[in-house]
Amino acid sequence: MESNHNNVPQSAHAASAGGAEPNYINAHKGIWSWMTTVDHKRLGLMYLVGVLTFFGLGGIFALLVRTQLLGPIFGGASGKQEWLFSGDTYNKLFTLHGAVMVFLVIIPSIPASLGNFFLPLMLGAKDVAFPKLNLMSFYVYVLGGIFLLFSIFTGAVDTGWTFYTPYSSTTSTSVVSAVMGVFILGFSSILTGVNFIVTIHKMRAPGLTWVRLPLFVWAQYATSLIQVLATPVLAITLMLLAIERTMGIGIFDAKLGGDPVLFQHFFWFYSHPAVYIMILPAFGVISEIITINSRKQIFGYKAIAMSSVAIAVIGFLVWGHHMFTSGQSELASAVFSFLTFAVAIPTAIKTFSWVATMYGGSLRMNSAMWYAQAFLFLFTIGGLTGLFLGTLSVDIHLHDTYFVVAHFHYVMMGGTMTAFVGALHHWWPKMTGRMLNEFWGKVSCFFVFVGFNVTFFSQFLLGTKGMPRRYANYLPEFQTWHQISTIGSYLLGLGFFITLIYMIQSLINGEKAPKNPWGGLSLEWETDSPPIEHNFHGQPVVNNGPYEFPEIDHSKSNRGGH
Amino acid sequence: MNLGSALGYMMAQAANTTSWWKPIQASAHAGAVDTLFNFIMYLCFFFFVLIVGAMVYFIVKYRRKGNGPERTSPIKGNHTLEIVWSVIPGILLVLIFAWGFKDWLAIAVVPANAMEVRVSGQKWNWTFTYPKEGIVSADLVVPAGQPVKLVMTSKDVLHSFYIPDFRIKRDVVPGKYSVLWFEPSEEATHQIYCTEYCGTEHSNMLSKVKVVSSAKYEEWLANGGDEDGGTPVPLADKGKKLYEQRGCVACHSIDGTNKVGPTWKGLYGSARKFTDGTSLAAADENYIRESILVPNAKIVAGYAGVMPSYQGQLNDKQLESIIEYIKTLK
């Protein structure tokens, strides 16, 4: 069925040997071979294990946070009582949830694990441009993670993942080690970005022109640009914060003559582009999954590729929309609001294009496709609710309420994490050589989808009603929706737990995966599942685009074409 | 139905703004904010139904039937469609931006006839000072229909002053003044929240706005901000009220539990040990007074010196009331 449009010269002995040839997993043995590996696939797998472990940890923090909010209400000042955690403990829990999820999970999730694994494969390369740098960036990631964990065991941090000053320069919790952790993680991100940019520029297979790149590669390219350009600003900012805390030099703390709002500018100058570091790879994943399972050309290839780059560029100029109530100048607020609306357009173009891609296709609704559809649903809500927050007058009411919490969870969790889990289903056979259980894949997707909406849609209502975020307790009027939200979070947790179970089952006795279970045309499907150590026998050559599927009926009129 | 009439319909619907899931509208701003909120909401409904509707329809219609490969459409794109779905949302986005900007200017520009109140945020309570009368209050008391300008600052970390019923919010920053204004429409009491995370008791940094008639407001001013007016009240009762209103409750328990600060139960007359090694045989009036006005002069062993000074915020009568209240907690 998947007639081979790409010419992959295969050495005769390997082609005939069948499963006898060693793959990247069993080519070398022993823990040392993993610790010193420069193989992008092994590093991708190790990142994946790290990311999933931290995802579990961050998820447990989230469930603890939600459980606290299930609790009895507090009658304001006088009738106060404690339920599960004290205010201090709760503050640490939501800080750790945010910091772990943002810095250790979402930012490295798709780029570091799947990007590392598939970028060289998709390009027809043997590895990334700088394999040793790749190994180093993994160790930098581990080191950063250790610093963050160290801060957890030495009393944790209670600043929120945003580390706003002057609270963060005065609190007695272990801010310095947490900040150092994030600082170090930033370098891992920068090194991966540099590596990917060079790899994409220099290591494409013959015939793999820029317009023949799979859209996942385009998305990784745009992401890497942001990682390289924005992350240093975060590093500088966190360094200044550490200097202020340790040496008492006034930079952000008004008591020392600093400006607390300056920190917010610095922080969001990185952290808003970071939102696109988190979401752009997800866009790439969705472009792949929807197209391959629709058996069609993607609708508007160039518009999708270019809108990734447009988002990356405009995304640098919208950070001030986090600060409409901070006291920044009115003119600045107006300009940031306008630019925020500008960035909505390329995002809308992508969404429309994905839906249009399914038109006239032959849709295979496998579990990856289920997750992709869940992404479309959730990300549409996440994107549209951004309009409320970009609007100056309406944001004044909604800023720092649960509306914001709901909005960014719809984008980060409903968007990026749904796409990430979908991508795992899509590429699992290639990575592990085993198929996942399709039935349970759909069951888990159902629980994740329903649980997610119950958890976070109720938070839009809470926020509109005026429930502020980062509250360890709340007034009685908010309790019903908080309890509904908490029940939703348990369903969501159950969904991911099911995923964990059938992934382990697949590793133990899953059905053996063929080379190309979904009939893909990009180069990663040309090699074995799991891939051989050096990816390909010989140098693959590309003669066509990544989405010219054999099912496409070219005899039909070219209506609507270019 | 063309786009113009659809927009007109949405705008008309949007103006009908009260709903069970929004806070009540209690200021001059609230109606306008809700109108735009609703307009954006209807637009979101429209695009959501369009996108998810098409998605579901395509899933049903183009779902692969049978096992063999089917023929699919060769469409790669459509310039007209792509321009349409870029330009129309673009126009709508500019419209939303301009509308939001216009309403926001009204929120940002303080009218000349506004009366001024100073707001001070500190961990974890709000204090309102009426500069002309010199009154210090734990609640914001204002006359209905009168524009009020708040000049706000913080004594420690960032806070944010938020009244959902008025649809207003502004960060309160140490070392800076930030300004916020509102015009309360009716006599009622509204909730004030802190919405910028500020530590342990962030979620209890609450206060109230009491909107009263102008006659009542004048009376309140004449009584020096004392709600009990001229009627005599036992000092201990007054102290209990101050304990709840002025933020003492956030850190000091009255039932013996240890919080951020030492409990008040049995405090009066008890022996105190301090971090600097000194001690006091029995806590008396002078010790309590000093602890309120100069908190870091003597810090009880086992606690951190985090309490802000109440110098200038409590008058002698109020200090005496608190001391009397502490005496009753045995």
* Residue ranges covered by each domain of chain B: 3-63+77-108, 115-222, 235-328
* DSSP-derived 3-state class of residue B51: helix
Does the distance separating the beta carbons of A472 and B202 come in below 8 Å? yes
Q: B interface mutation test: which of A393, A399, A400, A442 has the most B CBs within 10 A?
A: A393
Residue B91 has pLDDT above 90, yes or no: yes
Residue A73: predicted pLDDT: 53
Q: Tell me which chain B residues have a C-beta less than 8 angstroms from the C-beta of A336.
A: none
Q: Is the pLDDT of residue A562 over 50?
A: no
Cβ pairs A/B, distance under 8 A: 301
Judge contact between A246 and A203, C-beta under 8 A.
Answer: no
In a domain, A531, yes or no: no
- Chain B CB contacts of A385 below 8 Å: 44
Confidence of residue A15 (pLDDT cuts 50, 70, 90): very low
Sheet strands side by side (includes B135-137) = B135-137, B125-130, B115-122, B148-154, B178-182
Supply the ipTM of this predicted assembly: 0.89
- Express each pLDDT in B153-164 by its tens digit: 998 899 999 999
Q: What is the dihedral of CA B106, B111, B115, B119, to 10 degrees?
A: 40
| Domain at B115-222, CATH class | mainly beta
Residue A22 resides in a domain: no
Length of chain A: 562
Residue A85 in contact with partner chain B when CB distance is under 8 A: no
Q: For B172-194, what is the mean pLDDT?
A: 94
Which residues does chain B have within 8 Å of residue A297's beta carbon, measured at their own beta carbons? 74-76
Asked if A80 and B202 come within 8 Å (Cβ–Cβ), the reply is: no
| Mean pLDDT, residues A94-121 | 94
Report the residue of chain B nearest A261, measured CA to CA: B173
Query: Using the 8-state DSSP alphabet, how is residue A23 labeled?
Result: B
Q: How confident is the prediction for chain A on average, in pLDDT? A: 89
Out of B73, B104, B157, closest to residue A553 by CB = B73
SS3 B279: strand
Inside any domain, residue A552: no
**pLDDT-based confidence at A75, cuts 50/70/90?**
very low
Query: Closest approach of chain A CAs to the CA of B203, in angstroms?
Result: 5
- The answer, yes or no, to whether residue B229 has pLDDT greater than 60, is no
Residue B72 has pLDDT above 60, yes or no: yes
Residue B230 confidence (pLDDT): 55
Q: Note whether B133 and B102 are within 8 A (CB).
A: no
**Domain interval for residue A151:** 43-526
Task: Tell me if residue B181 falls in helix, strand or coil.
Answer: strand
With b for 16 or more beta-carbon neighbours within 10 A and e for fewer, the B66-100 pattern comes to: eeeeeebbbbbbbeebbeebbeebeebbeebbebb
Residue A331 lies in a domain: yes
Kindly report, residue by residue over A275-289, the tens digit of the pLDDT: 999 999 999 999 999
- Superfamily of structural domain B235-328: Cytochrome c-like domain (1.10.760.10)
Which residue, A463, A76, A389, A485, is CA-closest to B22? A463
B72 vs A392, A551, A560: nearest CB:
A551
Determine whether the interchain pair A380/B51 forms a contact, defined as Cβ–Cβ distance below 8 Å: yes
- Chain Cα centroid distance, residue B128: 14
Q: Measure Cα distances from A511 to A428, A502, A518, A519 in Å.
A: 12, 12, 15, 17
Residue B276 burial by Cβ neighbours in a 10 Å radius (0-12, 13-18, 19+): exposed
Asked if residue B183 lies in contact with residue B27, where contact means CB atoms within 8 angstroms, the answer is yes
B117: enclosing H helix or E strand: strand B115-122
Question: Looking at the partner chain, which of A259, A300, A471 has a beta carbon nearest the beta carbon of B77?
Answer: A300
Does residue A10 have a pLDDT over 80?
no
Q: Please give the Cα distance from B123 to A433 (Å, whole number).
A: 57
Which of B41, B46, B50, B157 is most worth mutating to test chain A (most A CB atoms within 10 A of its CB)? B157
Q: Is A244 on the interface with B (CB under 8 A)?
A: no
pLDDT of residue B17: 63
What integer pLDDT is reported at residue B69 of this predicted model?
Answer: 64
Q: How far is CA A562 from CA A299, A301, B78, B268, in A?
A: 11, 12, 7, 87
Q: What is the pLDDT of residue A285?
A: 96
For residue A377, the model assigns a pLDDT of 97
Q: Do A330 and B82 touch (CB under 8 A)?
A: no
Does the pLDDT at position A2 exceed 50?
A: no
Burial A332-346 (b: 16+ CB within 10 A, else e): ebbebbbbbbbbbbb
Would you say residue A31 lies in a domain?
no
The two three-digit tokens of residue B300, written as one number? 């009880």
Per-residue pLDDT at A318 exceeds 90: yes
Contact B204 A296 (CB under 8 A): no
* B21·A348 Cβ contact <8 A: no
Q: Which residue has the higher pLDDT, A199 or A230?
A: A199
Q: Is residue A353 part of a domain?
A: yes
B96 vs A391: CB contact, 8 Å cut-off? yes
Which residues in chain A have their CB less than 8 angstroms from residue B191's CB?
466, 475
Residue with tokens 């391959």: A292
pLDDT at A385: 96
Which residue among B75, B100, B206 sits closest to A560, beta carbon to beta carbon?
B75
Give how far A491 is from chain B: nearest CA, Å.
23
**Across the interface, do B63 and A381 touch by the CB < 8 Å criterion?**
no
CATH topology of domain B3-63+77-108: Helix Hairpins (1.10.287)
Q: Which residue has the tokens 């340790």?
A: A246
Q: Does the beta-carbon distance from B48 to A384 stay under 8 Å?
A: yes
Half-sphere exposure of A73 (CA within 13 A, CB side): 12
Residue A5: band (very low, low, confident or very high) from pLDDT cuts 50, 70, 90: very low
| A69-83, A193-207, A308-322: least confidently modelled range | A69-83
Q: List pLDDT tens digits, range A396-424.
A: 999 999 999 999 999 999 999 999 999 99
Which residue, among A68, A325, A385, A459, would best test binding to B if mutated, counting the most B CBs under 10 Å from its CB? A325
**In this complex, do A327 and B104 lie within 8 Å of one another by their Cβ atoms?**
no
Average pLDDT over residues A455-472: 95
Asked if A553 has any chain B CB less than 8 Å from its own CB, the reply is: yes
Say if A385 falls within a structural domain: yes
Q: Which CATH number fits the domain that encloses residue A389?
A: 1.20.210.10
Contacts of A400 in chain B (CB under 8 A): 160, 162, 169, 195-196
Note the pLDDT tens digit of each residue in A505-555: 999 999 999 999 999 999 999 999 899 999 999 999 999 999 999 888 888
Q: What pLDDT was estimated at residue A306?
A: 87
Mean pLDDT lowest among A40-49, B9-18, B240-249, B301-310: B9-18
Give the model's pLDDT for residue A140.
95
State the pLDDT at residue A291.
96
User: What local confidence, expressed as pLDDT, does residue A63 receive?
Assistant: 96
Percent of chain A clearing pLDDT 70 (strictly above): 93
Q: What per-residue string of b and e applies to A235-245 under the rule 16 or more CB within 10 Å gives b?
A: bebbebbbebb
Q: What is the 3-state secondary structure (H, E, C) of B4-28?
A: HHHHHHHHHHHCCCCCCCCCCCCEC
Structural domains of chain A, count: 1
